[in-house]
A = this chain, B = another copy of it.
Amino acid sequence: MKHHRIRNFNAGPAALPLSVLEEIQKSFIDYKGSGMSITEVSHRSKWFDDVINDATARVKRLLKIDDNYHVLFLQGGASLQFCMIPMNLLGDDRRADYVNTGTWSTKAINEAKIQGKNIQVVASSEDKNFTYIPKEISYNKDAAYLHFTSNNTIKGTQWASFPETDKVPLIADMSSDIFCRPFDMSRFGLIYAGAQKNMGPAGVCLVVIRDDLLKTAPDNLPTMLKYATFAAKNSMFNTPPCFAIYTVQLVLKWVEETIGGLEAMHKINQQKADLIYGLIDASNFYKGTSAVDSRSIMNVTFRLPSQDLEQAFIAKALENGFGGLKGHRSVGGCRASIYNPTPLEAVQELIDFMKEFEKKNS
């Protein structure tokens, strides 16, 4: 069956692979012969055990990690992690470093400060409205961790390579670029990512945490805010967000089996980004907003000569079947989010549309 589908450039919740959606739809009322929907099976059943164990195994394979890391599927989004990380990892006798590269980094910093934690912002790109990724990071050798945002959805910037901090573990909010490319997880103490951009629907947050970091939480921390609670129970201390985890499982299966893994995924993502940045660089009409060496391959932010033209562009694009091209309400302009599930053809069609729009309006 052919479905009516738009070319979806939403920043999140974002596009999912059509094959994944079709599989969910097909088996929605009778999941694998259980006689139940995946939304109706018990989280203590073999059906859901298979789902969460397969999702976990795929995360471990994609990140090339073994049992000294724990894969957790939590609720509350990346935003809850902003407070859980200092709660669990930053005792009163320790301090931590943060890099500020935009809206989400700022929120993470604020949530540590609200709790009265001892943190230092060791680098920031606020001086240029967060349009670049800082090069020099003077981290503290005694820091409990260094926190940064690997990709900045709103500003359209991304770390090309991660900060060097020797023995200080890295912690990154990877909500908008998890699994977009291979990276060396052994330098990280913890990574986290809301699913709704690169790997699933809203409602689940992936956390991968190194074993030794499960032991630093204070005794008076509520059970549901402790990483160790979920690590000990395979993310099922209480009922997990089953449907969201199931969808993540299918998206990771798609990354591994249809795309062929993170190297292949990266190649496609780079191709998609190169197409749009190539057009922007060749044009006097479209103008990229982030520094060239800090450009995101996930969120391409750009401006047109006027706000009127931007509005016309977004409206005309929608008419032509391209959705989600409006920039974040805090910065304006345009943005094409081209996460893992966005197919190359969608970007090629967008390029054609952008060329035509430029021709007609410049």
Contacts and interface: CB of A to CB of B under 8 A. Distances in A.
Interface of A: 3-6, 8, 10-16, 18, 21-22, 24-25, 28-30, 33-37, 39-44, 75-80, 82-83, 87, 107, 110-111, 114-116, 194, 196, 200-204, 219-225, 237-244, 247, 321, 323-324, 329
A13 B42 contact: yes
B79 A224 contact: yes
Contacts of A34: 6
Each complex incorporates copies of this chain amounting to: 2
Q: Which of A82, A220, A223 has the most CB of B within 10 A?
A: A223
Contacts of A82: 222-224
Nearest to A241: B203
A111 B323 contact: no
Contact of A13 (B16, B43, B220): B43
Contacts of A36: 5-6, 8, 10, 15, 323
Given A83-B225, A202-B239, A203-B241, A13 B35 contact: no
Nearest to A45: B10
Q: Which of A12, A76, A247 has the most CB of B within 10 A?
A: A76
Contact of A202 (B8, B43, B200): B43
Q: Which of A5, A116, A239 has the most CB of B within 10 A?
A: A239
A5 B24 contact: no
A114 B242 contact: no
